[in-house]
Amino acid sequence: MKTSQAILLHRMRQWDEEALTAVYDEYAPAIYRYAYRLAGHRETAEEVVSETFHRLLVSLKNGGGPQQNLSAWLYRVAHNSVVDRWRRQPAQDEVLLTETPDTSTVDRNLERLIRQQEVEDVRRALQLLTPLQQQVIVLRYMEDLSIKEVAAIVERDANAVKALQHRAVNSLKRLLEKGDEDEKVD
């Protein structure tokens, strides 16, 4: 473990307000992005960030919490929080009601809607992967973390992460291609 992280973890256990604030300021935006990419909702992502840091404080108060890799611990807690929410609330199809757009903005709105649909298609396909595959894809491609960093977060070795990533990418490709076939009209 790096000396600076060891010192930071020690200061956090001592309830050093500056250390706790520094950790929140450094990691909250990344945890928010991660949760948002998994859940697809701002409110859910905000709740996950809040819950993640609440769990950190409770764990520290009880003598637990991260022992070595703070980042990995926070991502695992955030991931578990998102997965718990999925289990409690099964996915429902969303219906978006909008006003009829002005004819001068139809093209721009159509492009935006197509991009939104593509993002939703990827998000739906991503949710059909195993939770571990989802986590690897989001961390690698959306959070741009290295294989080594992802391995620490998911508590697997680098070769296992590479294999998970490979299977997940292939599964996503099949799911998205299948979705395209379902939309084709004979």
> 106-127 and 158-183 are packed helices; what angle lies between their axes, rounded to 10 degrees?
130
The pair of three-digit structure tokens given for residue 34, joined into one six-digit string: 């991660």
Determine the distance from the C-alpha atom of residue 77 to the mean position of all C-alpha atoms in its chain, rounded to a whole number. Answer: 11
CATH topology of domain 96-186: Arc Repressor Mutant, subunit A (1.10.10)
Would you state the pLDDT for residue 68?
81
Segments making up each domain of the chain, as ranges = 1-90, 96-186
| 184 — pLDDT class (breaks 50, 70, 90) | very low
CA distance 126 to 171: 9
Would you state the pLDDT for residue 59?
92
pTM: 0.65
Would you state the pLDDT for residue 41?
84
CA distance 175 to 125: 6
pLDDT tens digits for 110-157?
666 677 777 777 888 888 889 899 889 989 988 889 999 999 999 999
CA distances from 12 to 21, 26, 56, 57, 171 (A): 9, 14, 10, 9, 41
The pair of three-digit structure tokens given for residue 165, joined into one six-digit string: 């990533």
Could you give phi then psi for residue 185, rounded to 5 degrees?
A: -105, 135
Could you give phi then psi for residue 129, rounded to 5 degrees?
A: -75, 165
CATH class of residue range 1-90: mainly alpha
